[in-house]
Amino acid sequence: MNSNQLPKNEYSIFNATYINALENVSLIEELEISLHDFIKFVQNIPMDKFDYRYAEGKWTIKDIIQHIIDAERIFCYRALRISRNDKTPLPGFEENSYVENTDASIRSIQDLLSEFSAVRQSNLLLFKSFSANQLERMGIASDNPISVRAIGFIILGHQKHHQKVFIERYL
């Protein structure tokens, strides 16, 4: 399935921003391609930009990379639970608390990219393991209905969103 074929009833209006950021991509293929594209993209960012804040209280590029990693872990946890037919509504998460309670600034960019790669590789294997039926399963996350496959596309759109923010506000 490609992102433009995803029924709108499988994700919230909030997540439509991420889904709509995608250009008709295949879920599994793009999970792999975007891993390599993101690493290459980040490796081309000048070193003096990683700890830069474009305004007071805004996250640094390192903070955002850590946020992408944390969010992907949470999204995949949701996908796993929903794929296994767990009907328990899953809560949202406060992204600002996560950033405030990690110190990405003391980490090297290579360490962050290695973690991103490990998380994505693990999640790629998870999504490859899902049957067509599991990918279509619906659950509740952040008080909204969502499918497993929509979560995969949200991961991709979320990463793409932040890459665009890097270009527009940091580089």
Determine if the pTM surpasses 0.95: yes
- Domains of the chain as residue ranges with CATH: 3-170 (1.20.120.450)
Which residues of the chain are under the pLDDT cut of 50? none
Going by C-alpha positions, the residue among 39, 8, 29, 171 that lies closest to residue 110 is: 39
Q: Note the pLDDT of residue 113.
A: 98
The pLDDT score that the predictor gives to residue 1 is 86
What is the reported pLDDT for 124? 98
Percent of the chain exceeding pLDDT 90 equals 99
The pLDDT, as a whole number, for residue 52 is 95
User: Quick one: tokens of 74?
Assistant: 């949470």
Q: Contact at 8 Å (CB) between 105 and 51?
A: yes
- What tokens were used for 122? 């693990």
At 37 the pLDDT is 97
Task: Express each pLDDT in 38-75 by its tens digit.
Answer: 999 999 999 999 999 999 999 999 999 999 999 999 99
Question: How do 144-147 and 138-141 pair as beta strands?
Answer: antiparallel
Q: How many CA atoms lie within 13 A of 124 on its CB side?
A: 16
